[in-house]
Amino acid sequence: MGYEHSAECTSCHNTFTVSEGGGFSFHLLRCEKCGKDKSVGFEQLGV
């Protein structure tokens, strides 16, 4: 099951909604404003 939460880009500080679904050990998150992406492990998200 997926879920949504608010996130902030560490490069441009834009706040955006992240929709997340299944993955094995991480999610690849992308800022909607500047386009930079970052892999974030489940342990960082508290999943």
Q: Which residues, at least 6 apart from 26, have a Cβ–Cβ distance to it below 8 Å?
A: 39, 40, 41, 42
Q: What is the per-residue pLDDT for 22? A: 55
Domain range for 19 is: 3-45
Q: What HEC string does the chain produce? A: CCEEEEEECCCCCCEEEEEECCCCCEEEEECCCCCCEEEEEHHHHCC
Tell me how far CA of residue 27 lies from CA of 1, 32, 40, 43, in angstroms.
Answer: 14, 15, 5, 11
Return the pLDDT at 33.
Answer: 87
- pTM of the predicted model over 0.75: no
Q: What is the pLDDT of residue 1?
A: 46
pLDDT, tens digit, 9 for 90 and up, residues 1-47: 457 788 888 888 988 887 666 566 677 788 888 988 887 877 777 65
The number of distinct structural domains making up the chain is: 1
- Confirm if 17 and 5 have CB atoms less than 8 A apart: yes
pLDDT computed for residue 40 by the predictor: 80
